């Protein structure tokens, strides 16, 4: 380390020595302050990373119930699907649909006033990735009718119990709003559609084989 006292040996005045000494002390204190700030920031970042890791682990380890619709154009059905996208099981899952127009609901559900669309006793356990489907309509839903009801929506009430990281059970509830205009948003290939595509492929292959055989017969 540079010693300011050595300046006196070379005949430097006391005033200049005092100025240089103060400047040196100031620079030294600033450097120490910067080191302290860096140490504080590093410590804070380490603590914050621990909390972020715990939060991410908590979010991945909890149940996450989603509600959405699927419109099967081949079979002319609209279904409401409740699926667990989380990393843990959901217990005692109960669902009900409210404020849905009667013309869109199948006859079996009309008798039970919306409550019969899903099992009224609920699902005892819904594993991660598992889902339950409730068919809302059977038969073609005219696009014109859906456009007329574009401002209309229905609600799916969902409640379930999940186990947190401390192994305590906690009940959760939420209401999912679904617009009628979204019923045509998702196309799902049905078994009939898949069979039709496979038949077309087989027909093309048979046509190629028939052409090849006819050419060989001529030769």
pLDDT of residue 191: 64
Give residue 185's pLDDT. Answer: 46
pLDDT confidence of residue 129: 87
If you count them, how many residues does the chain have? 219
- The pLDDT value given to residue 135: 73
- Mapped to the 3 state alphabet, what secondary structure does 37-62 carry? HHHHHHHHHHHHHHHHHHHHHHHHCC
Q: Which two tokens stand for residue 148?
A: 């007329």
Phi, psi of 167 (to 5 degrees): 70, 15
pLDDT value at residue 218: 60
Residues of the chain falling short of pLDDT 70 = 1-17, 20-21, 28, 30, 32-35, 37, 73-76, 99-120, 136-152, 165, 180-193, 215-219
Distance CA 119, CA 180 (A): 23
Q: What is the pLDDT of residue 189?
A: 60
DSSP state of 85: -
Q: What is the pLDDT of residue 114?
A: 43
As given in the structure block, the two tokens for residue 215 are 């050419």
- Give the per-residue pLDDT at 14: 67
Report pLDDT for 216.
67
Cα–Cα distance for residue pair 158/82, rounded to 1 Å? 9
Q: What pTM value is reported for the model? A: 0.52
Give CA–CA dist 179/38, Å, rounded: 53
Q: What is the rounded CA–CA span in Å between residue 71 and residue 143?
A: 12
Of 83, 86, 91, whose CA–CA distance to 130 is shortest?
83
Give every CB contact of residue 64 below 8 A, 6+ residues apart in sequence.
84, 85, 86, 87
Which sign, positive or negative, has the C-alpha torsion 67, 133, 86, 191? negative
Instruction: Report the C-alpha gap between 29 and 32 in whole angstroms.
Output: 5
């Amino acid at each position: 380390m540079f010693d300011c006292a050595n300046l006196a040996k070379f005949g430097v005045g006391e005033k200049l020595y005092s100025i240089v000494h103060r400047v040196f002390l100031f620079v030294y204190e600033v450097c120490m302050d910067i080191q302290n700030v860096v140490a504080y920031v590093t410590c804070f970042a380490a603590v914050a990373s621990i909390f972020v890791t715990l939060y991410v682990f908590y979010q991945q380890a909890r149940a996450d119930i989603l509600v959405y619709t699927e419109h099967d154009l081949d079979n002319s059905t609209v279904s409401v699907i409740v699926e667990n996208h989380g990393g843990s099981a959901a217990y005692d899952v109960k669902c009900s649909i409210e404020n849905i127009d009667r013309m869109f609901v199948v006859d079996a559900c009309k008798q039970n006033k919306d409550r019969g669309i899903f099992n009224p006793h609920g699902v005892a356990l819904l594993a991660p990735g598992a889902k339950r489907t409730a068919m809302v309509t059977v038969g073609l839903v005219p696009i014109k009718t859906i456009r007329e009801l574009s401002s209309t929506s229905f609600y799916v009430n969902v409640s379930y119990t999940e186990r947190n990281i401390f192994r305590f059970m906690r009940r959760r509830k939420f209401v999912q709003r679904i617009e009628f205009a979204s019923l045509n948003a998702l196309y799902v290939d049905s078994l009939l559609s898949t069979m039709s595509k496979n038949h077309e492929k087989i027909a093309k292959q048979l046509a190629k084989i028939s052409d090849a055989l006819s050419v060989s017969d001529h030769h």
